[in-house]
């Protein structure tokens, strides 16, 4: 069994100074290839050079990507460019992109394909809102979000189950809710698909989340900005 994955999503936080202070702490801890850091575009090259210089196995990822390969798309960043600066993975379809930037599952599916074309691993995010959960349609929503990837071999991407009501709220899903949804996603795709949980994972609940059946890792937002807390989470990965 591969080690559980821990991906840190810095979102639109950080600075050169913060990269220079946090990354060395992660390097000192000797983290392996099961850990990834997704910093904002401008900091990818710096983070990569620090990881490479230390010959670290920690992976580098981006938080989004353009669905197109090349061309007159001002402001966009292609998957090929991300590969060029040393990224190994891309978070696609994050709930914040869906909520604040109107990203649809169809767009996300094109981004997944563009990511694969560049030889990178897409980490495709799915999850329901609180209203959808209360209406009893959480599984239908997840099924719809997964449906757009029909035809893409399930071994080529990972899924992050991130209920939007748990992302950045401090209220993580319960172990029972996580277990149920991970089982559903694996049943829908393939039992071997890597499914990560994301949503208010912190140092003090990481062990409980990572112990849930069917959890192959975690996608961590806010808690990834503190080296101490992120390391606590990484150390719980089995
Ligand atoms: C995320 O950004 O994917 C996330 C899960 O955020 P947080 O850990 O802050 O809830």
pLDDT in tens, 6-64: 999 999 999 999 999 999 999 999 999 999 999 999 999 999 999 999 999 999 999 99
Of 99, 196, 183, 200, the C-alpha closest to 157 is 196
pLDDT of 2: 85
Q: Provide the CA 58 distance to its chain's centre, in angstroms.
A: 14
Q: What is the ipTM score, two decimals?
A: 0.98
DSSP labels, 13-47: ---HHHHHHHHHHHHHTT--TTEEEE--GGGHHHH
Domains and CATH numbers, the chain: 5-236 (3.20.20.70)
SS3 assignment, position 69: coil
Read off the pLDDT of each residue in 151-179 and give the average, rounded to a whole number.
97
Of 200, 145, 197, 191, the C-alpha closest to 168 is 200
Is there a catalytic annotation at residue 94? yes
Is the model's pTM score more than 0.95?
yes
Of 204, 210, 146, 172, the C-alpha closest to 7 is 210
Q: If you ran DSSP here, which 8-state letter would residue 174 be given?
A: P
Expressed in angstroms and rounded, the spacing between residue 218 Cα and the centre of ligand 1 is: 9
C-beta of 163 in contact with ligand 1 (< 6 A) = no
Beta bridge partners of 159: 124, 195
Structure tokens given for 91: 């978070």
Q: Residue 190 — pLDDT band, cuts 50, 70, 90?
A: very high
Q: Residue 141 — pLDDT band, cuts 50, 70, 90?
A: very high
Name the catalytic one among 67, 94, 182, 236. Answer: 94
Q: Which residues of 88-113 are buried (b: 16+ CB within 10 A; e: fewer)?
A: bbbbbbbbbbbeeeebebebbbbbbb
C-beta of 201 in contact with ligand 1 (< 6 A) = yes
Gyration radius (Cα) of the chain, Å: 17
Probe target for ligand 1 pocket from 36, 39, 162, 166, with the most ligand atoms within 8 Å of CB? 162
Give the position, in ligand 1's atom list, of the atom nearest the Cα of 220.
8
């Amino acid at each position: 069994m591969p080690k559980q994955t821990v991906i840190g999503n810095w979102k639109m936080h950080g600075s050169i100074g913060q990269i220079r202070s946090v990354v060395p702490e992660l390097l000192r801890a000797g983290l392996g290839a099961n850990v990834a850091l997704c910093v904002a575009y401008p900091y990818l090259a710096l983070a990569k050079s620090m990881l490479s210089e230390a010959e670290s196995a920690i992976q580098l990822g981006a938080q989004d990507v353009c669905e197109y390969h090349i061309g007159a798309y001002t402001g966009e960043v292609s998957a090929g460019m991300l590969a060029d600066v040393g990224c190994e993975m891309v978070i696609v379809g994050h709930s914040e992109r869906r909520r604040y930037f109107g990203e649809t599952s169809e767009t996300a599916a094109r981004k997944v394909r563009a990511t694969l074309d560049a030889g990178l691993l897409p980490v495709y995010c799915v999850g329901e809102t609180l209203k959808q959960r209360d209406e009893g349609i959480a599984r239908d929503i997840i099924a719809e979000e997964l449906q757009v990837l029909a035809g893409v071999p399930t071994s080529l991407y990972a899924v992050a189950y991130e209920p939007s009501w748990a992302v950045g709220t401090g209220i993580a899903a319960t172990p029972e809710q996580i277990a149920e949804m991970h089982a559903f996603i694996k049943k829908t795709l393939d039992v071997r698909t890597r499914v990560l949980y994301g949503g208010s994972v912190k140092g003090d609940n990481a062990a409980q989340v990572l112990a849930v059946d069917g959890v192959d890792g975690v996608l961590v937002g806010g808690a990834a900005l503190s080296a101490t807390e992120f390391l606590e989470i990484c150390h719980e990965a089995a």
